Chain A
C-alpha cells in the first residue's frame, strides 16, 4: 500500500497539516495519505514541527477569574454561550447602541417621528433583517460543512476498517511512470475509495470510468468517472455501488463525457 510512485509535494503536505487546503484538494489528498505510508510519515513530521512552533510562542496571562469561571462550569450541565453566540449577541448590541446614539443626535422636531422609526428598526430591522439575514447567509455554508463532516467521518471509518478488499490497477508491466490505480473496496456496504497516479489526460470529450466486475459474472457496475489533474492524480470516494456485491476485479475504461452504463473496450487498466 505504500509503494506509490507519486507522493505529495512538501508544500501541499504543509498546507494539509495547517488545514488550509481547499475542499477538493483535501478529499483527494486524504485519500492518497490514507493509502501512502511515506506521505503519512512526512505529514506526521510536519504536524510535529507545527505543534512545537505553536507551543514555543510567548505565553499570555490568563484573564482575571478565568480559573474560577472554568471550575464553576465543571458541574454545570447547561452550556454557556458559545463563541459564535457571543459574537452574534455582541453584534446585535453594537448595532443597537449605534442606532440609539444616532437617534439622540437627531434635531428635536424629528425625535418623535425618528423615535418611532428607530423602534421599528430596532425590532424589525436588526432582528429580522440584519441578524436573520446573517444567519440565512451562513446557512448554506453550515449545511455544506455538516454534509462534508459526515462524509469525512464515513471515509475515516471506512479506511480504518479491516475487511475491505484491496486492489492495484496497472497497465501491463509496471514502471514508475506507468498509470497506476488503487482500490479499497468493501462488498458488505458497497463502499469504495479509488486513487490514481500518473494518469494521462483523457482524449477530448472523453473521461475515465471505474468499474466493479462482480464475482458472480453479472454486468460490470459503474463506480464513477474521473479526470486526472495536471499531475496525473485522481480520486473517487464513495461512489454509489449496491451493497453485497463481491468483486472479482476492477477496471478503468475511457468513455464519453458523462460516463456510460456499460464499459467500452478496451479496458484501460485493471486489477484484482
Chain B
C-alpha cells in the first residue's frame, strides 16, 4: 500500500493501516525528535503526538499525496524545537507549512539518491556540519551559533549556506 492508500484507510479508522503507517514512519519521526530533544521519553511523546494527529485528522494529509514522509520529518523537527522553546509553542499540525509541492516522498524512497545525500552530509567539513546541526536540531539562530562557537556571523552564514548547497547538489546529480 502506498501512502495515499494508507491515509485513505486511516481516514476510515482502519487501525491496521495506522499500524502500518506507524511501522513506516515512526523511526524517522522519533529519530528526528530524539536528536532535537535528546530525551527518549520526550521524543516518544512528540512522535506519538505527531502520528496521533494523522490518526485524528488525516484529511489534512490526503490533499498532499506523496509527501507524507518529508512532511512528518518537518513536523517532528518543528514540534520538538517547540518543546524546547518553553514548551508552549505547539502549533496545530494542520497549520504547518508543507515543505514543498514536489513529490518528496518519492525522493526519500529513492534509496540511491538518499544514500548520495547521506554520504554528502557525512563528508561535510566538520564546521559546516556542526553549524547546520545547531541550526536544524537545536533551533539556534545564526547569531546564536556565532556566539556559541565564537565564529564570525558571516562565517556561520557561509557554512550553513555551503552545507545546504552540498545537500542540493547531491539531490540534483
Contacts and interface: CB of A to CB of B under 8 A. Distances in A.
A18 B139 CA distance: 7
Contacts of A56: 114, 117-118, 121
Contact of A52 (B91, B95, B167): B167
B161 A44 contact: no
B112 interface: no
Contacts of A74: 15, 18, 52, 55
Contacts of A82: 45, 49, 90
Q: Is the interface of A mostly helix, strand, loop or mixed?
A: helix
Q: Is the interface of B mostly helix, strand, loop or mixed?
A: helix
B83 A84 contact: yes
B74 A47 contact: yes
Contacts of A53: 117, 121, 132, 136, 163-164, 167
A52 B160 contact: no
A34 to B, nearest CB: 12
A145 B95 CA distance: 14
Contact of A145 (B32, B46, B47, B88): B88
Contacts of A48: 70, 99-100, 102, 104, 168, 171
A84 B83 CA distance: 7
Q: What bracket does the count of chain B residues touching chain A fall in?
A: 35 or more
Contacts, number: 163
B123 to A, nearest CB: 12
Given A48-B102, A48-B104, A63 B44 contact: yes
B100 A86 contact: no
B139 A71 contact: no
Contacts of B93: none
A55 B70 contact: yes
Interface of B: 15, 18-19, 22-23, 26-28, 30-32, 34-35, 40-42, 44-49, 51-52, 55, 69-70, 73-74, 77-78, 81, 83, 86-91, 95, 97, 99-102, 104, 107-108, 114, 117-118, 121, 132, 135-136, 139-142, 157, 160-161, 163-164, 167-168, 171
Interface of A: 10-11, 14-15, 18-22, 44-63, 66-67, 69-71, 73-75, 80, 82-84, 86-87, 138, 141-142, 145, 149, 153, 156
